[in-house]
Amino acid sequence: MNWVLLLGFIVLAASGLLSERASSSRPPVIKVGALFGLNTMYGQIANIALKAAEEDVNSDPSFLGGSKLSILMSDAKRSGFLSIMGALQFMETDVVAIIGPQTSIMAHVLSHLANELTVPMLSFTALDPTLSPLQFPFFVQTAPSDLFLMRAVAEMITYYGWSDVVALYNDDDNSRNGVTALGDELEERRCGISYKAVLPLDVVISSPAEIIEELVKIRGMESRIIVVNTFPNTGKMIFEEAERLGMMEKGYVWIATTWLSSLLDSGLPLARKSLNGVVTLRLHTPDSRKKRDFAARWKKEKFSNKTIGLNVYGLYAYDTVWIIAQAVKTLLEAGGDLTFSHDEKLSSLEGEALNLSALSRFDEGSQLLDYIMHTKMSGLTGPVQFHQDRSMLQPSYDIINVVGERFRQVGYWSNHSGLSVVPPESFYSKPSNRSSSNQHLKPVTWPGGTSVTPRGWVFRNNGRRLRIGVPDRASFKHFVSRVNGSSNIVQGYCIDVFEAAVKLLSYPVPHEFIFFGDGLENPNYNELVNKVATGVDFDAVVGDVAIVTKRTRIVDFTQPYIESGLVVVAPVSTPNENPWAFLRPFTPAMWAVTAAFFVAVGAVIWILEHRINDEFRGPPKRQVVTILWFTFSTMFFSHRENTVSTLGRMVLLIWLFVVLILTSSYTASLTSLLTVQQLNSPIKGVDTLISSTGRIGFQVGSFAESYMVDELNIARSRLVPLGSPQEYANALQNGSVAAIVDERPYVDLFLSDYCKFAIRGQEFTRCGWGFAFPRDSPLAVDMSTAILGLSETGELQKIHDKWLSKSNCSSPHGSQSGDSEQLNVHSFWGMFLVCGIACLVAIFIHFFKIVRDYCKHTPEEEEAAIAPPQSSRLKKLQSFLAYVDQKEEESKRRFKRKRNDLSMNSNSIASRPI
């Protein structure tokens, strides 16, 4: 029993010693440094929020096991030098973490110090996207990176259908890298930053002169979407000067990043009139009881200096303190110590002015950093948690519209669901859906007080007339031409399409036409398009410009307003001018077989009808005429078959079927032969053109030349430049070229006047004609929409018919690519076979019936006849033929009469006396 009591005392004593040792290892004060400029909005907010968080952590003595948390504030006064000195002083006083610095510039510098001394550095304002955890492992952003802010801005720009923006920013790491991230996000959405307006550092701008200079440049540009990524002081000056310059009027779009919402929430002095219609973003924090209670505390005298209101960065400052406190608590509960040691690298440095050896290395810094990154808590800003890449959980933003003296929320953006009109936390339990149909925002009041979404761009230099280059063509002037030698009055198919499309735009497009070329020879279209790309001579090109790959790399084309493609043109012969052309649908053999069957069918009908039908009796001449008339009249569906016997009707119906087939085939073939000209060129299309050695003509200035050389590998020596339709015709007729390769619209116009030529083969390229504009020009998109509208309403076809639907040829041609075939016997032998079999069957039945009837009455006739007992075979044949030739009714009457005579003779013989 005594041993048991003794053992118990030992255990109690040991546990008491361990508890005392654990308590003694915890410092009475846990120091955390904070680097902010206390004369700035962010510094004032941070000072209040950090002290409030410090008080709340220390309000529960057991939270840190009896230790107190102390926030050491260093006023950097917006000075980089003072920020460095403040960080070095913190390292001498054994701080476990540093909150700050305020700017990304200093974050890039001080992170090297944090890495060396393994002291975690946490910032909710230095949100530069390039502060990578790989390069700066001890730097932690406790608010969402500006990468997500720029993604939200890019999705807003896409949502409203804009394509080009102007970025206005200070030349510091945070602003510059944020704009770079915006450019990357826009590029993924096929948009871009057309101009970057760079301002000096926020701390060195003393007058608005530099701001005014950049705003004047922007005012003369095309884009009206301006993204302002700067700091509060610079931002206020930008909008004040923009209002004076008339840049807060209708047509402009101003998007300010989170600096403006922070100013609005803080209640600092601000010229609200200069902000009317501006859209800004604010870090989204879900509504909660904690957040409302803290906002109420902020208004109390104890937590407020009565000069600044609570903004979202105050909430993130408060949560940052709690992130550190939670990590320290976890470290201590895990048995860790808070110890510091001298860095051997620094101890070896000698210097009289710098006491670098006094800097301490936080031994448990890596462990504390790991606990920070595994933080899971519910703070004033909502759920606080880090992803593996150290980005904050569920980054999201409020989208705010400034209207007069107030501002209203028009929607939200989150990385999970995109743009919405309901809070993003309502989507977190559902799968991510970023489809365009799910993106919504409430109506926005834009600068100038309009609710109509601005189109986002204007013509450069305040409405200067658009300089439109048009080719001064020497040929094919139906497309583009001068009017009576004028210097700037143009007409033609392409011009009418352009003017009609401009009328459909919702805004005026003042423009002037400028000719390119001398009018004596067709200009080079590649040079014309290059002048649009450089922007020196022309703002656009209107004309018969083909949309080809080489040109699309330097300019933007509209929707094609006419289809095009390269085709081969060759000479044609005109055999259909022969007066006997109507015989060409059938081959000679076909004509012979058809004629033979006419005769054969007629003969069969005569045989079948001769003995029973009066129309087939009489003199031979008459019977021949009857046969011919009867068979030919069947072709005209005169229903003559109703006047013949059953067998004759069967033959005639089959023959009628044959005649119908032959007639329809003949008609179709004859129509084709009379409307299609036959090509006598050996070239069947582009393939035989390539393999041949003949010369090839092309139009001067056309891309056909380079295409044949570069793509088809045709020797340039085979190519012959031609300048007009007349030159085309002459070259083809005299044989100087075997064929011509040109675009389909030109060829169609050429063939409408020159009927002895035709297209050979099919189009071997597919393209179209469009109007050319500089790259990323919004006018190209609007004009494409207008061209589609012209097509849907039929106006485009009317313009085409006005200029291009003309032909001096009597029959259509040009689209044929091969010879038409004549109809031959092989195509119809089955039909003739059926007709022949029917005729043979009918003849067989007919003769079987005649033979039967002949045999039936002949013996009786021979018994009664007074004639020699034996008759020759010739006599019998003559008798049979006479019977066949005899009409059936007459034969029956004669047979009946003879029977009566024989009967009377028999009776008279019987009555004689013997």
pLDDT confidence bin for 905, thresholds 50/70/90: low
Provide the β-strand partners of residue 586. Answer: 823
Give the pair of three-digit tokens for residue 511: 């423009």
Q: Is the dihedral of CA 782, 787, 792, 795 positive or negative?
A: positive
Do residues 774 and 533 lie in contact, with contact meaning Cβ atoms separated by under 8 Å? yes
Query: Who has greater pLDDT, 371 or 404?
Result: 371
Task: Quick: pLDDT tens for 688-736.
Answer: 888 888 899 999 988 899 999 999 999 999 999 999 999 999 999 998 9
Tell me if residue 308 falls in helix, strand or coil: coil
Q: Is the dihedral of CA 474, 476, 479, 484 positive or negative?
A: positive
pLDDT at 577 over 60: no
Say what the pLDDT of residue 8 is. Answer: 42
pLDDT confidence bin for 485, thresholds 50/70/90: confident
Running DSSP on this structure, what letter comes out for residue 221? S
Q: Is the dihedral of CA 653, 654, 659, 660 positive or negative?
A: positive
Say what the pLDDT of residue 450 is. Answer: 93
Say what the pLDDT of residue 721 is. Answer: 94
The amino acid at 636: F
Query: Given the DSSP bridges, would you call strands 192-199 and 340-342 parallel, antiparallel or unpaired?
Result: unpaired
pLDDT at 742 over 50: yes
The amino acid at 191: C
Do residues 775 and 742 lie in contact, with contact meaning Cβ atoms separated by under 8 Å? no
For residue 25, count other CB atoms closer than 10 A to its CB: 14
Do residues 488 and 512 lie in contact, with contact meaning Cβ atoms separated by under 8 Å? yes
Assessment of whether the complete model's pTM goes beyond 0.85: no
Element (H, E) at 11: helix 2-25
Mean pLDDT of 363-389: 93
Provide the β-strand partners of residue 768. Answer: 563
Scanning 634-766, the segments in alpha helix (DSSP H) are 646-675, 686-691, 704-710, 725-733, 744-751
Task: Quick: pLDDT tens for 539-548.
Answer: 999 999 999 9
Do residues 410 and 345 lie in contact, with contact meaning Cβ atoms separated by under 8 Å? no
The amino acid at 890: E
Say what the pLDDT of residue 566 is. Answer: 94
Place of tokens 């870090």: 283
Give the pair of three-digit tokens for residue 843: 């003849």
CA 576 – CA 596 distance, rounded (Å): 27
Q: How far is CA 780 from CA 145, 452, 463, 771, in A?
A: 36, 21, 17, 8
CA 907 – CA 911 distance, rounded (Å): 6
pLDDT confidence bin for 898, thresholds 50/70/90: low
Say what the pLDDT of residue 812 is. Answer: 46
Give the pair of three-digit tokens for residue 228: 């302002």
Place of tokens 């006005």: 802
CA 206 – CA 812 distance, rounded (Å): 78
Which of 379-388, 760-769, 831-840 is predicted with the least confidence, judged by mean pLDDT? 831-840
Do residues 205 and 78 lie in contact, with contact meaning Cβ atoms separated by under 8 Å? no
Phi-psi region of 503 (alpha: psi -120 to 50; beta: other; left: phi over 0): alpha
CA 311 – CA 308 distance, rounded (Å): 9
CA 211 – CA 169 distance, rounded (Å): 10
Decide: residue 518, CB within 10 A, 0-12 exposed, 13-18 middle, 19+ buried.
exposed
Q: How far is CA 230 from CA 171, 180, 202, 434, 893, in A?
A: 9, 14, 8, 29, 127
Say what the pLDDT of residue 196 is. Answer: 95
Do residues 647 and 845 lie in contact, with contact meaning Cβ atoms separated by under 8 Å? yes
Nearest to 776 by CA among 543, 527, 484, 456: 456
CA 863 – CA 903 distance, rounded (Å): 12
The amino acid at 432: S
Do residues 683 and 739 lie in contact, with contact meaning Cβ atoms separated by under 8 Å? yes
Give the DSSP per-residue string, 445-508.
Answer: --TTS--SPP-SB--HHHHPPEEEEEE--SS-TTTSEESTT-SS-EESHHHHHHHHHHHTSSS-
Which of 278-282, 408-412, 781-785, 857-861 is predicted with the least confidence, judged by mean pLDDT? 857-861
CA 740 – CA 729 distance, rounded (Å): 10
Do residues 835 and 601 lie in contact, with contact meaning Cβ atoms separated by under 8 Å? yes
Running DSSP on this structure, what letter comes out for residue 524? P
Which of 58-67, 332-341, 668-677, 844-853 is predicted with the least confidence, judged by mean pLDDT? 668-677
CA 595 – CA 576 distance, rounded (Å): 24
Say what the pLDDT of residue 443 is. Answer: 95
pLDDT at 816 over 50: no
Say what the pLDDT of residue 655 is. Answer: 73
Tell me if residue 339 falls in helix, strand or coil: coil
Say what the pLDDT of residue 120 is. Answer: 95
pLDDT confidence bin for 637, thresholds 50/70/90: very low
pLDDT confidence bin for 22, thresholds 50/70/90: very low
Please give the radius of gyration of the chain, using alpha carbons only, rounded to the nearest integer: 51
Say what the pLDDT of residue 658 is. Answer: 78
SS3 of the chain: helix, strand, coil, percent, to 5: 50, 15, 35
Give the pair of three-digit tokens for residue 105: 């510039």
The percentage of residues in the chain with a pLDDT greater than 90, rounded to a whole number, is: 49
pLDDT confidence bin for 18, thresholds 50/70/90: very low
Phi-psi region of 639 (alpha: psi -120 to 50; beta: other; left: phi over 0): left
pLDDT at 21 over 60: no
CA 629 – CA 17 distance, rounded (Å): 140
For residue 219, count other CB atoms closer than 10 A to its CB: 16
Average pLDDT, the chain: 83
Say what the pLDDT of residue 13 is. Answer: 40
Which of 283-297, 504-518, 641-655, 850-864 is predicted with the least confidence, judged by mean pLDDT? 850-864
Say what the pLDDT of residue 66 is. Answer: 86
Q: How far is CA 799 from CA 114, 752, 756, in A?
A: 73, 17, 27
Which residues, other chains included, contact 722 with Cβ-Cβ below 8 Å and sequence gap of 6+?
Answer: 697, 698, 699, 700, 728, 731, 737, 740
Element (H, E) at 514: strand 511-516
Which residues, other chains included, contact 860 with Cβ-Cβ below 8 Å and sequence gap of 6+?
Answer: 898, 899, 902
For residue 119, count other CB atoms closer than 10 A to its CB: 27
Do residues 696 and 739 lie in contact, with contact meaning Cβ atoms separated by under 8 Å? yes
Report angle CA 769, 570, 726 to the nearest 5 degrees. Answer: 70
Running DSSP on this structure, what letter comes out for residue 799? H
Task: Quick: pLDDT tens for 77-111.
Answer: 888 888 888 888 888 888 999 998 999 999 999 99
pLDDT confidence bin for 907, thresholds 50/70/90: low
CA 54 – CA 320 distance, rounded (Å): 11
Nearest to 233 by CA among 409, 35, 42, 446: 42
The percentage of residues in the chain with a pLDDT greater than 70, rounded to a whole number, is: 80
Do residues 416 and 277 lie in contact, with contact meaning Cβ atoms separated by under 8 Å? no
Scanning 717-828, the segments in alpha helix (DSSP H) are 725-733, 744-751, 778-793, 795-803
Mean pLDDT of 606-635: 67
